[in-house]
Chain A
């Protein structure tokens, strides 16, 4: 009850409301994603009370996941990649003058998806965290490997498995720069004072997830034009379609499960839920021509990902997706290392954060029902204004955490190098994960080697370690087989 009281304090409610509304606005702007928003704002929460800062970021995450659906429905311009499935049916409904109904279905489905996934997070995260109490250094090392293996499982046609692995290891190599924790000697600093403490992951996070998008927008050969004709069309007020609840429940369940799986994101959750709904509805529904069932399943699916992705993030330190990776960064800079400690030592911060997700869902439900059609106009803001404004915040955010201009140069360097890597098909999520998990892996490895008296057998001895190796292989094998199949087909 004490934790609920913390969430219901005026300052907490204000932080959640600001975060959620900001998230909805950011999500509604094409080109800006929840990852970008959370990554950009993490450094600014550093000086805030940790609970308020985390609530603000949680609100942004939940709000942005919903916000993407507004321009997807009214302008056929998904605010976030996760809202692409929503646009398939939502825009068709808007063109028929049923945009108001599509928005209503979308916000209620998002609310339901977010709520169910938050309940799952609240119930299962502490149970899972208890298992992590038996972890020693060897298991910690394997946990970091598991996190990386999970992320590389997203490898597809664009980001091949080997390139994703390469990016993950590159991140771990970058994390080696700085002072060696075992001997205290300096490694790869080239005499630079700024590198003694190593490379902070925050400038990398802002560069790879936020600034890179601005560089891409600035360099775009053709500016995309947005069709705003459906926005003005008269919109009938209709009651919720009968039987829509089961599509929302289907999407919520699918989204939560997909969110829990490492490496699987909200976009996959939305499309999977959409496809399940299509199968469930059969021929009777008008899929492709404006089916509210599709909007319901897709939106419940992408918001279901929010709570789901935080289960492995908070309990095991394995981010379910890139937004969860950015949020994990926020926990770490506030001195809260993901794992069992979050539910024991830091329970007074973690539980209020989880409870705040319920409030965030209620906030976007109110915002969505009352002002969604007006918010769609945010998507019409010219990129030429958006790019310099976001870039200025990226510079400020990179500087703010350590008050170092070196971090600003690092952010620019990561954005430029990251863009080249992205265009060549390397996974940036794996790179940032390598950077975040690298020090955890090295600490576990080094301590494990000392305990094992120099023998790597320690990483295979305990039952937990054996299970973890099976999971790692389980995560790596399917994409590896798919890669081999593709190669043989060629």
Chain B
């Protein structure tokens, strides 16, 4: 997708959000009508107004449109993103250590690193440091199986 198209879509979304935000303030109850609702309307008008100005400027812009290089290597980018979501999903039932022990080497390999000794030592080092500093020293409560 080109940079201008994505920007214009986003700005149109911002204007839509500003309109919805403004309309929603009608439902504010009691004292909020005289206080918070006015504040939110101020934000909605500012946001919508700025969005409209920027959209007009963008439509008037005659400069050559460029392709938006958002992800570079999409496989690695989305691989890391998927890994993070999987990490978060596993966090509650399995805690930090088991998902991290899988996540770190998998992402390292995904990003093109192939030295198993360095990967293994890095993973073990991070887990040991987290256990020592955060669990033992700072008493941070981590969910799931404790060690």
Answer whether residue A383 sits at the interface, using C-beta atoms and an 8 A cutoff.
yes
Minimum C-beta distance from A353 to chain B (A): 19
Kindly state the separation between the CA atoms of A182 and B29 in the bound complex, as whole angstroms. Answer: 10
B interface size (C-beta, 8 A)? 71
Q: Is the CB of B54 within 8 A of A424?
A: no
The B99-123 residues at the A interface (CB cut-off 8 A) are 100, 103-108, 111-113, 118-119, 122
Closest to B113 in A: A384
Q: Which residue on B lies nearest to A416, using beta carbons?
A: B81
When the two chains form the complex, which single residue of B30, B43, B80 contacts A183, counting CB atoms closer than 8 Å?
Answer: B30
A183–B88 CB distance below 8 A: no
The answer to whether B111 touches A408 (Cβ under 8 A) is: no
Q: Which of A170, A403, A416, A447 has the largest number of chain B CB atoms within 10 A?
A: A170
- Chain B residues with Cβ under 8 A from A188's Cβ? 24
**B71 touching A392 by the CB < 8 A rule?**
no
> Known: A215-B81, A395-B87. Contact between A445 and B10, CB under 8 A?
no
Q: Which residues in B have their C-beta under 8 angstroms from that of A458?
A: none
Residue-wise interface mask of A (167-181) relative to B, using a CB-CB cutoff of 8 A (1 in contact, 0 not): 001101100100011
Which one, A158-166, A300-308, A316-324, is touching chain B?
A: A158-166
The answer on a CB contact under 8 Å between A385 and B119 is: yes
Judged by a CB distance under 8 angstroms, whether A219 is at the interface is yes
Given contacts A403-B141, A423-B70, A446-B39, contact A183 B103 (CB under 8 A): no
Instruction: Report A321 CB to chain B, min CB distance, Å.
Output: 23
Which of A181, A215, A408 makes the CB contact (< 8 A) with B88? A408
How many A-B residue pairs lie within 8 Å, measured between CB atoms?
186
A183 touches B29 (CB 8 A): yes
In A127-160, which residues have CB < 8 Å from any B CB? 160
The answer on a CB contact under 8 Å between B39 and A44 is: no
Q: Which residue of A lies closest to B141 (CB)?
A: A403
CB of B70 within 8 A of CB of A420, answer yes
CB contacts (< 8 Å) of A449 on chain B: these are 34-35, 38
Whether A48 pairs with B47 at a CB distance below 8 angstroms is no
- Residue of A44, A383, A412 near B134 (CB, 8 A) is A44
Which of A166, A183, A219, A405 is in CB contact (< 8 Å) with B76? A219
Asked if B88 and A395 sit within 8 Å, CB to CB, the answer is yes
A300–B101 CA distance with the chains assembled, in angstroms: 42
| A224 interface residue per 8 A CB criterion | no
Is there an interface contact between A214 and B80, defined as CB atoms closer than 8 Å?
Answer: yes
**How many angstroms from the CA of A69 to the CA of B87 in the assembled complex?**
35
Query: In the assembled complex, which residues on chain A have CB atoms less than 8 Å from the CB atom of B68?
Result: 423-424
Q: Which residue of B lies closest to A421 (CB)?
A: B10
| Max chain B C-beta neighbours (<10 A), residue from A382, A392, A446, A454 | A392
The reply to whether A180 and B141 form a contact with Cβ atoms under 8 Å apart is: no
Q: Which chain A residues border B84 with CB–CB below 8 Å?
A: 211, 391, 395, 408, 412
On whether A385 and B108 interact (CB within 8 A), knowing A185-B29, A420-B70, the answer reads yes
Complex: chain B residue closest to A442, CB-CB: B39
Q: What CA separation (Å) do A409 and B73 show in the bound complex? A: 23
Which residues of the partner chain B approach A391 to less than 8 Å between Cβ atoms?
Answer: 80, 83-84, 87, 103, 107
Across the interface, do A173 and B32 meet the contact criterion of CB distance under 8 Å? no
The CA-CA distance from A222 to B134 in the complex, in Å, is 35
Q: List 27 interface pairs A-B (beta carbons < 8 Å), by A numbering.
A: A47-B140, A48-B138, A162-B50, A163-B54, A170-B14, A173-B21, A180-B28, A183-B30, A215-B80, A218-B79, A218-B80, A219-B72, A219-B74, A221-B73, A223-B112, A387-B108, A388-B83, A388-B106, A389-B122, A391-B107, A392-B103, A396-B134, A405-B92, A419-B70, A424-B6, A424-B68, A442-B36
Other contacts beyond A162-B50, A389-B104, A419-B70: 14, CB < 8 A: A44-B140, A218-B79, A221-B72, A387-B107, A388-B107, A388-B111, A391-B87, A391-B103, A396-B130, A399-B96, A405-B143, A409-B85, A424-B3, A446-B36
Q: Using CB atoms and an 8 Å cutoff, list the residues of chain B in contact with chain A.
A: 3, 6-7, 10, 14, 17, 21, 24, 28-32, 34-36, 38-40, 42-44, 46-47, 50-51, 53-54, 57, 68-74, 76-77, 79-81, 83-85, 87-88, 91-92, 96, 100, 103-108, 111-113, 118-119, 122, 126, 130, 134, 138-143
A residues lining the B interface (CB < 8 Å): 44, 47-48, 160, 162-163, 165-166, 169-170, 172-173, 176, 180-183, 185, 187-188, 211, 214-215, 218-221, 223, 382-385, 387-389, 391-392, 395-396, 399-400, 403, 405, 408-409, 412, 416, 419-420, 423-425, 441-442, 445-447, 449-450, 454, 487
